[in-house]
Structure 1
Amino acid sequence: MAPTGTPVVFIHGLWLGASSWQPWVDLFTARGYSPMAPTWPGESESIELARSHPEDAAGFGIDEVAGHFAAIIEKLDRPPIIIGHSFGGMIAEKLLGENYGIAAIAIDAAQIKGVLPLPVFKNPANAHRAVSLSADEFHYGFGNAVSPEESEALWEAWNIPSPGKPLFEAAGANFSHNSPAKVNTENQARGPLLLIMGGKDHTVPEAITKATLKQYKDSSAITDLVEFADRGHSLTIDSGWREVAEECLTWLDSQTLTA
């Protein structure tokens, strides 16, 4: 029998594979939702294949990624809840602003246009490549709030090469009138949005999320903020993932969602 619950589309960010959402998919399924976690354009279905063919993921930018997920959503029988992490969180915001979802949750989301960017790769050539993170880089950017042993285990399990282009697009967003990082933050008719931030996140510091919240000041639509003060960027995949997932489920239960 086909699932009948409200659809949920999970969107991962850079350097993680789509399968990293599997515990969330299982939990949301158990709670009556119909979740899915699609790959990014050019991303192999397995972690091993993604690592073996990094060139397949190269060159995709924010518009291509957003369009890829929009096309997936358009094939659903009704608009979904969209949940994204890191750059996936930005994509979730972008799609919600364009009314592709009935609600969205953006977890440690990358900065949108209007938010001051953080430093990115020093090598401009990486804008056209797919790049990976070393175990040390992963520990600093993702796993700094967990033990070194857990961070290395997460890196070994989930790290994949990802396109560098979205990083450079986000970094230059405030200098481009038509930046792909632009989100319709003034949409009054969109569904509710929850922003989640990790207080120890090195990749998307809490200042980025708080600045993102301010970008929504001209919309009367619901925009909420939740902080996990002791969590880093790995909060969706590390041993504390369920606490974050339960917070998302509790928030969704509190909303009046209509397709």
Structure 2
Amino acid sequence: MNTTASTVTPREAAEVAAANASGRQPVVFVHGLWLLHSSWDAWKAYVEDRGYAAVAVDWPGDEADVAAALANEGSLAGTSVRDVADHVQEVIEGLDRKPIVIGHSFGGLLVQIIAGRGIAAGTVTIDPAPSQGVLPLPVSSLKAAFPVLGNPLNYGRTVTLTFDEFRYGFANAVSEEEARALYDGFHTPAPGRPLFQAATANFNPAAKTKAAKRNADRGPLLVVTGEKDHIVPFAMANAAFKKQRKNQHHVTEIVEIPGVGHSLVIDSHWQEVADAALDFLSRNGLGA
């Protein structure tokens, strides 16, 4: 008998139950570092209006909202890529139908891991953190990661970005006013461990950031990249695309959204990104 305690929260369980009761094609959203499930609220309403059922997952240890996360900034300390991937899988296993998975940043890496486990009907990976084997390390990526990687002690800690750090990494392609609103409305402390895991993955054969890419049950996959992204520039996103297109069983595409940075899923351009994702899904037999 499996005595492992479930990591699924009441909020997640309620969304899974609603998706199952609807009979609709579920879409599971996975956020990245420095954000919470609420970063997908606009997307959830948008896809549900178009006939899907939406489920937004937490990371284990996530607080319920931004205020609580800022008040308890150590809640995610030590959280690993494997911890989150296994949690996302547990949420998915509660669904009656194989879901579409959509992830941003480290969430973009996580949905590739999930696709590699064969439990996604289709995948949209947006400005994804690098999986094992993705080699480019642009200067802007190193600069954006320095607030974490610059101190080895951050491996077991959480890190809260200053506004200037957030502005450079996330919100470089929006106005100062919008950047401030995004920082105040969405930014939360994030665990350092996943960034260290990604940074050392290509030196570790057992890296937890490995995503299987050639399996027959991976499903269609779209890589979305923002033209002005500092954290995951085109070179990194394109390297992920080149790795994923080795899959001979399913279509793999890449699309670059002009004029946007890493905040593309939460800033004023989010609907353009959502439309690109929904168009891909529709063209590949995964419409609602």
Q: TM-score range by the shorter chain?
A: over 0.9
> What does residue 241 of structure 2 align with?
213
Q: Does 1:160 align with 2:179?
A: no
Q: TM-score of the superposition, structure 2-length normalised?
A: 0.87
Q: What does the per-residue CA deviation read over 1:132-157, in whole Å, with 9 as the maximum and x for residues that have no partner?
A: 11111111001000001101110000
Change (3 A) 1:217 1:31: closer
- Cα distance in 1 for partners of 2:31, 2:209 equals 16
Alignment partner of 1:15: what SS? coil
Q: 1:233 aligns with which of 262, 265, 272?
A: 262
The answer on 1:247 being equivalent to 2:266 is no
Superposed, which structure 2 residues align to 1:43-62 within 5 Å?
43-62=62-81
Contact 1:5 1:34 in 2 (8 A): yes
Matched residue of 1:37: which SS? Answer: strand
> Cα deviation per residue 1:15-59 (whole Å; 9 max; x = unaligned)?
011101000000011001000112111001111111111111110
Find the aligned partners of 1:257 and 1:135 in 2 and give their Cα distance.
Answer: 39
1:203 aligns with 2:222: no
Displacement of 1:164: 0.6
Aligned ranges for residues 15-34 of structure 1 at < 5 Å?
15-34=34-53
The corresponding residue for 2:198 is: 170
Q: Distance in 1 between matches of 2:246 and 2:31?
A: 28
Amino acid at match of 1:40: W
Q: What is the one-letter code of the residue matched to 2:76?
A: A
Separation in 1 of the partners of 2:216 and 2:98? 17
Question: Where in structure 1 are there 5+ consecutive unaligned residues?
Answer: none
Percent sequence identity over aligned pairs: 43
Q: Which residue of 1 aligns with 2:166?
A: 138
Q: State whether structure 2 residue 212 is matched by structure 1 residue 184.
A: yes
> Post-superposition shift, 1:71?
0.5
- The answer on whether the counterparts of 2:245 and 2:251 sit within 8 Å (CA) in structure 1 is no
Which of 8, 25, 32 pairs up with 1:6? 25
Which shifted more, 117-126 or 32-41?
A: 117-126
Q: 8 Å contact 1:96–1:190 — kept in the other structure?
A: yes
Query: What amino acid is aligned across from residue 106 of structure 1 in structure 2?
Result: T
Residue 257 of structure 1, CA deviation: 4.0
Determine the C-alpha separation between the residues in 1 that align with 2:259 and 2:74. Answer: 36
Aligned residue identity for 1:67: D
Contact 1:191–1:257 at 8 Å: present in 2 too? no
For residues 126 and 157 of structure 1, what CA distance do their matches in structure 2 show? Answer: 24
Unaligned runs of 5+ in 2: 1-17
Computed over aligned residues only, the root mean square deviation of the Cα atoms, in angstroms, reads 1.3
Normalised by the length of structure 1, the TM-score is 0.96
Cα distance in 2 for residues equivalent to 1:61 and 1:190: 23
* Aligned partner letter, 1:13: G
**For the residues of structure 1 that align with 2:113 and 2:196, how far apart are their CA atoms?**
17
Q: How many residues align?
A: 258
Matched residues in 2 for 1:39 and 1:188: separation? 28
* Residue 80 (structure 1) aligned with residue 109 (structure 2): no
Cα distance in structure 2, aligned partners of 1:218 and 1:56: 38
By how many angstroms is 1:222 displaced?
1.1
